[in-house]
Amino acid sequence: MTRALFLLFFLLGSVPLATLPGIAQPGSTAGDTLSDSGTALRWTPPEGSFLQDSIRLGEPIRFAMSVRHPLNTMVLFPDSLYNFRPFEYLSQTWFPTRSDSLGSLDSVVYTLTTFEIDSVQSLRLPVWYLQGDDSVAVYTRRVEVDFKPTVVPPLPDSIALQATTDFAPVPTQFNYPYWSLGIATALLIGFFLFLLFGQPLRRRYQLYRLQRRHEAFERQFNQQLAYWKAQPTSQHSEALLSLWKQHLHLLSPHPFSSYTTRDITLLLPDPALNQTLHTLDRHIYGGLPPQPDEQLFKPLTDQVTRLYTQRREEVLHD
């Protein structure tokens, strides 16, 4: 069907404009011509055809329509508001205008359907040639298409019924009242359990999280300390100090991560801790490496242990 449509448009586009019936030759005096700047033009009737030879009730059918016209004229095709009786409009597909030195070819394919039951149904559509403020409607020839009714097989006069006594499985329905009562009971039991055991369970969970974080800190700190002992660089010193401040921040309400050595010594007045922090600052910012000492970082771990123990007591007595 699509091949027939494009063959139709190709044949129409290959015919010279001057040889088409309906285009007046110079000097023609045909009766259905209008004058435009002294030139007589005959309005060319459009071509139309169904792309199927038959149609069934409610099925779509395509109607191809094209018109050849001079370059200086404008034509209008029917749109969705046009009455296509006995057919009903579904959609339309426009094709680009093809022009040459002899004229232009415009074409469109309408998709229609019908709910009439006449054995033969026909259609003719117009195009409108615009002439100034006026227009002239020129119609295609009437095109017919056969209607094929849907064949319904005849029903027998009597139907033989077959008896069966087997049980048929019946799907069970969801028991909304039963499940609603069960969910409400479970929620009520959970509420009373929370009132009785909620506080101890929450306290045990907090202690568990506190212990896991402290154990993770000890592993990371000892690993970083081993790197520092193997190669005591300022980067390793800074990593140890940063890790220590972050853990203090988790154990106390103070933001130790952003505190300087002066701020920390004011909150934690410990001479040994003060000396360790200043030693690390001289190494990190001044490039002065500390003397190898196994006890250099002991004040840091002692403060962490003290704050960890203090935080556990707070959770236990909350």
pLDDT digit string (tens) for the chain, length 318 residues: 444 443 344 334 433 333 333 333 333 333 344 444 333 346 789 999 999 999 999 899 999 999 999 888 889 999 999 999 999 999 999 999 999 888 899 999 999 999 998 899 999 999 999 988 888 999 999 999 999 887 667 777 777 777 777 888 888 888 888 889 999 999 998 888 877 777 777 888 888 888 899 899 899 989 988 888 888 888 888 888 899 989 888 888 888 888 888 888 888 888 888 888 898 888 888 888 887 676 888 888 888 888 888 888 888 887
The answer to the question of residue 141 being in a domain is yes
Which H helix or E strand runs over 155? Answer: none
The answer to the question of residue 225 being in a domain is yes
Q: Do 108 and 205 lie in a common domain?
A: no
Contacts of 30 (CB under 8 A, 6+ apart): 24, 40, 42
Contacts of 293 (CB under 8 A, 6+ apart): none
Looking up tokens 């415009």, which residue turns up? 106
- The alpha-carbon radius of gyration of the chain (Å, integer) is 48
Alpha carbons 311 and 218: distance in angstroms, whole number: 16
Q: Do 142 and 204 lie in a common domain?
A: no
pLDDT value for 286: 84
Residue 223 CB-half CA count within 13 A? 7
pLDDT value for 207: 86
Q: Do 224 and 129 lie in a common domain?
A: no
- Residue 99 forms beta bridges with which residues? 104
Q: Do 9 and 138 lie in a common domain?
A: yes
Q: Do 9 and 117 lie in a common domain?
A: yes
Q: Of 147, 167, 185, which residue is a domain's last?
A: 147
Length of the chain (residues): 318
pLDDT value for 35: 40
Alpha carbons 60 and 55: distance in angstroms, whole number: 8
The answer to the question of residue 115 being in a domain is yes
Q: Do 102 and 230 lie in a common domain?
A: no
Domain extent at residue 79 = 2-147
Contacts of 274 (CB under 8 A, 6+ apart): 261, 265
pLDDT value for 12: 41
Q: Do 141 and 208 lie in a common domain?
A: no
The answer to the question of residue 109 being in a domain is yes
Nearest Cα to Cα of residue 143 among 266, 61, 70: 61
pLDDT value for 111: 96
The answer to the question of residue 172 being in a domain is no
Q: Of 116, 147, 178, which residue is a domain's last?
A: 147
pLDDT value for 312: 86
Q: Of 147, 182, 205, which residue is a domain's last?
A: 147
Neighbour count for residue 43 (Cβ, 10 Å): 23
Q: Do 14 and 124 lie in a common domain?
A: yes
Q: Do 201 and 143 lie in a common domain?
A: no
Virtual torsion, Cα 124, 128, 129, 132, nearest 10 deg: 160
CATH of the domain at 132: 2.60.40.10
**Domain total of the chain:** 2
Q: Is 172 helix (H, G, I), strand (E, B) or coil?
A: coil
Contacts of 275 (CB under 8 A, 6+ apart): 299
Q: Do 20 and 123 lie in a common domain?
A: yes
Q: Is the pTM of this model over 0.75?
A: no
The backbone torsions φ and ψ at residue 283, rounded to the nearest 5 degrees and listed phi first, read -75, -40
pLDDT value for 5: 41
The answer to the question of residue 164 being in a domain is no
